[in-house]
Structure 1
């Protein structure tokens, strides 16, 4: 009878990076699970509920908890052509993305075919937490040839959508954990069928959200030039590769999100097996939500947080969320990118800088309150 050996663990971060010991401990806890082969921590690694966030975990056993509840969460980038870009005016025109679109909303036209799992609840909404929709501008093109192939140039405006499968992924995970807890999937094939539906749902949701915003801003909806999911599991090289807050890095273009007050980076990912073919998905939290709320309230006012260090605007009607998601709650995106470059996992293509970041509807104005009242009366 052979002795079980814990999987190998590699964290792709430099000594200058902010990596909590709790997050590394979680990687080693995952490595001790039955069937685990290799755990790769990305430079945005931070502790999560039951599993580290910013990690790619390869195993001969499928563990739904390692993917989490927001199956299909990802980031998509959509070109958008606007006649004039005046953030103050455009911010007021964003639709209420906490509410599903009306049945006659023309944004529905971007969806072809059936809705995965026939799940309509929340379709077209962005969700809370770290999800967002951003109107951003290409600030610096670092690889003109690659950017040109994507149709991007300095000064172009794009929509960035970060959202997932809303309640569908949570329903799938709960059905598993209610019976098996943190244990492996009893029927991996059956789980994967539902999982794949949630991944497709998340991608459709990002398209519908982008179409709603584009139409509200007077633009024509477009197809995404980047759309990568960072909460999923795939079968690769005969093992289950779980990604929790880690984007596919096998020759794909990935938008690695900064914060609402810093640039984001579009990169060409080329991560190999040591990194479980994965790259970071964002800056990664360095403060818990409770710490960000406590420290933020001591340092900033709500109005200060509605205008970011780069001069962009934040649409957010939830004051607590403003503090929890403040730029200071996150790691330096520049260091995350530097670590990826140093470890030959990705090559930066371009940076984008936010103009407007939508977190949740701000219904403080009379017109928006009246919109909500009219909708509630229907």
Structure 2
């Protein structure tokens, strides 16, 4: 008998039938108790993204390879936040850092603790896909009491970091799937121990990324006011609660990401058991990457995608990624938030507006080609 499935979205939300079908497929797995689909639900590789799945059996594939992926928000103080000037000062976050006590970013982020699992590959890098580091300003305050508690004020600047455990989570999942495929964990405590390392690694990496950017922009690094993981499993009430693209919503503060061309929302989450104690993690894709690339190239130029309608700039040297991650490839974040509010899962606290969004380092400009027709005549 299949587990129950609840979908926390309205008729106005864009929810693909394939994503709903994946929820019911997961609900039929042995030991599954309940599947909750968030309003950003969309199809994933074998399991839905934007879902919380509760079971008496631990299934590593339901969490996926990017264990520990999450979003953190850091306060930052800057004078005259010109997008052009600040975009040029962003560091190359594709270049990893070695743990070095003399590096101020590492010294601040690590707090003297070793790297979880001793995994240093990709440390301090943001990754590809929908990961990003964004300088944003608080556009409006939606709930004064919660905003005051978090220290948020209209016009203030924040750094938003969306990244995960890089290759560590992939290595953990591969070790399982090479032996068990999509089956359950043969040794749940061993998987959970490795999983917890990846969750800690992801949180450390978000702190390191924020510290690198803050220092490069001439600001002091700060501790996060929000840092929630949305790819993880936790033991709750004797069950395994798998979250894939769903943020913990049981009394937590969460940033729900829009796109590089739309606002994001800080919310105070208060979801219950029916929702898997979870809320959405972002706008959710409505186009595959292939569709976004094909449609985007027909409608936009690279230059158009580097500056958003909000006036913000996008740092992205990968042209294909610019199209794949275009704002039009995602659902309306306002509808996602409205659905969470309508279902009593979250209270909007503040709206953030992009100033500079970093995806991957800009490529150096090509040197002008030599004019061979005239070069022979030069003295």
Q: Compute the TM-score of the two structures, normalised by the length of structure 2.
A: 0.95
Match of 1:247 in 2: 247
- CA-based RMSD of the aligned residues comes to 1.0
Tell me the equivalent position of 1:43: 39
Q: What's the CA shift for 1:363?
A: 2.3
What's the counterpart of residue 349 of structure 2? 349
Distance in 2 (CA, whole Å) between partners of 1:224 and 1:6 is: 40
Q: Which runs of 5+ in 2 are unaligned?
A: 368-379
Structure 2 Cα separation of the partners of residues 309 and 9 of structure 1? 38
**Displacement after TM superposition at 1:84 (Å):** 2.0
Unaligned runs of 5+ in 1: 368-378
Q: Is the CA contact (8 Å cut-off) linking 2:264 and 2:352 kept in structure 1?
A: yes
Match of 1:373? none
What secondary structure does 2:65 align onto?
A: coil
Q: What's the CA shift string for 1:252-295, capped at 9, x where partnerless?
A: 00000000000000000000000010000000000000000000
Structure 2 equivalent of residue 235 of structure 1: 235
CA contact (8 A) 2:6 2:35 kept: yes
Aligned-residue offset at 1:101: 2.8
Residue 152 (1) aligns with residue 148 (2) = no
| Equivalent in the alignment of 2:377 | none
Number of the residue aligned with 1:376: none
Deviation at 1:364, TM superposition (A): 2.3
Q: Distance in 2 between matches of 1:302 and 1:90?
A: 20
Question: Aligned runs of 1:1-378 on 2, under 5 Å?
Answer: 5-101=1-97, 103=100, 104-110=102-108, 111-112=110-111, 113-365=113-365
Aligned length: 363
| Aligned-partner Cα distance in 1 for 2:286–2:174 | 28
Q: Deviations over 1:148-200 (max 9, x none)?
A: 11111000000000000000000000000000000000000000000000000
Distance in 1 (CA, whole Å) between partners of 2:218 and 2:115 is: 26
CA distance in 2, matches of 1:145, 1:156: 16
Greater C-alpha Rg = 2
